[in-house]
Amino acid sequence: MLILASKSPRRNELLKLTGYSFLTVPAVKDENVPSGTAPGDAVLMLSQQKAEEISESHPNDIVIGADTVVALGNRIMGKPKDEADAFTMLKALSGKTHTVLTGVCIISPDKKINFYEQTEVEFYTLGENEIMQYIASGEPMDKAGAYGIQEKGALFVKRINGDFYNVVGLPVARLARELKSLM
């Protein structure tokens, strides 16, 4: 059986694109990354933590863990703690190019695959009122970097370089190829 170790509705929808049948069993442990960890290393560690947690209780299944962060240089932006944090993130991303990284860990009974994809996203310059209206919609509160490219956050995006679905939360093309090698 294939298991997605995530509570993200976006990852659930994206995994459906691969055509595989799967169960969703969310990881619940706290996500811990040492301060100063590089963004790529952070998503590898977090995705592995999630996959390992669920794999412990499902050792005969294939488990997928994933984690997405937005990075402005080496500054990692996860989900905002509150509206002020969301404003700070969006203001920092305004008019700049940032990187979205999604780490994926696949654990099968006899193999572990851990990789990440990264996509560059350039934002238009955002006005304070524009940011406040977006925050008032509630949309940015459960998303890394305080925006969803697949929703109203798309209005901020000038261009992307890389996998669009990676920015949404799961690099499905790469994931499908890795799963094919296991099944």
- Which of 30, 41, 61, 67 is catalytic? The answer is 67
82 is catalytic: no
CA dist., res. 43 & res. 106, Å (int)? 13
Q: What's the alpha-carbon Rg for the chain, to the nearest Å?
A: 16
Q: How far is Cα 60 from Cα 107, in angstroms, rounded to an integer?
A: 10
- Contact between 23 and 4 under an 8 Å Cβ cutoff? The reply is yes
3 state SS of 92: helix
Q: What amino acid positions are annotated as catalytic residues? A: 67
